[in-house]
A and B are shown apart, each in its own frame.
Chain A
Amino acid sequence: MNIFRIIGDLSHLLAIIILLRKIWKTRSCAGISGKSQILFALVYTTRYLDLVTTYVSLYNTVMKIIFIAVSIATCYLIYMKFKATYDHNHDTFRIEFLLAPAVILALLINHDFTFLEILWTFSIYLESVAILPQLFMVSKTGEAESITSHYLFALGSYRALYILNWIYRYHNEEIYDLIAIVAGIVQTALYCDFFYLYITKVLRGKKLQLPA
């Protein structure tokens, strides 16, 4: 374990807690893409199936359970409890265009053609594009509440910090995982536009307005 990964995991945990809390406190999921949340729930449930087969550490196990529980709870709030506030009209990204390539790529490029490994690979590929419906929704509505942009900043930072973790591990432990690294770079690249807007606008107290 290294500082980059710890801060990355905590940033990730912060992001999903910010989102769950925002929806719960405001009793509304306005401006939140339910489709992205479904994709994230799928990412964690397919990636963390090894909870039952491999014990890495207490930290690893506890965090996996939290990520699965919080992502499912968030989907429940969006699609069940506060369904009336879900913004169907702006959450229109076709997620089948993300799921199909992730499945195909996982079957073609993987470390091992076993059930759990294919699911893990699918999860890695899917996670790299899972935020697209949310970013698409923000671009369609032309703006995002500041709490939503804090959520996106924390979520985007987590994988950016993981890239530093992978550099650290390559130099210090001489291990690397190209699938995770390439997907992580793609994932972080998707946030660059948002990071720019967040730093130049939100941190100066302005609302996040995307050029329509």
Chain B
Amino acid sequence: PHFIIELPDQNDALCFNIDHKPGTIFNLVRDPPTGIVVNGQIIGDKKIIPGNKMHTYFGRFGIVNEKFGIRLMVSTKEILVSERGKHANFSWTNNKTLEGLNMDLQVIKDRSLTVTLRNSVKFLIILHKIWKMHPYHQDYLGFYTLDSHLFSSNVHGLLGQFYHGVNFEVSDLFPGKDPDKQDANMFVKGNKLTVTRGWKRDFRQDVKNGEKVPCWFIHNNGTGLLDGVHTDYIVSGLF
């Protein structure tokens, strides 16, 4: 999956990829004071195109709000919700709106799920539907944080650590390994990294083609930008 950290006040963005063995579960958000945890499990392509490397995507997300006793499991097939022992099952194939005491859900058929946790956060999960007979690819999910301002200062995780900004500086551009792109030095979190100017796609408006977001790409699974390394964020279960 590709991660994008947009910083509109700087009119810039950071991006990195995390690739690991399909089936691995990563922690994206952990905020002990609010009791919110978001984990995601990655999946691979059906088949690797010869000569290409394996790409991974998120196939399942687990969202927990301990304070309200809410657990949400979102996969490419279904959406399972449990709140204080009550269970409900939603499908991606119908539009559905659920307004609860502590959580609102809105499913847009075959497209997206918006999750609003009362007095805290709002997430958007996008379903990327792939033609079933596609020989290489399969359905996958995207996860977008729409509102994060009520998270505590302790919030962490692969995405959560950036919710309160990040300090960085970028030097002059210079030719990189890839003749089509330019590199620069980035100074961030006490590290000096070689980063590459590129772009990633934001699929919120156009789920099919996305919108290009220019960004500084941090190589090696975000090493140097992330606190620790990406494997530090591996967890044993979705919840």
| A and B bind | no
Q: Which positions in B face A, CB cutoff 8 Å?
A: none
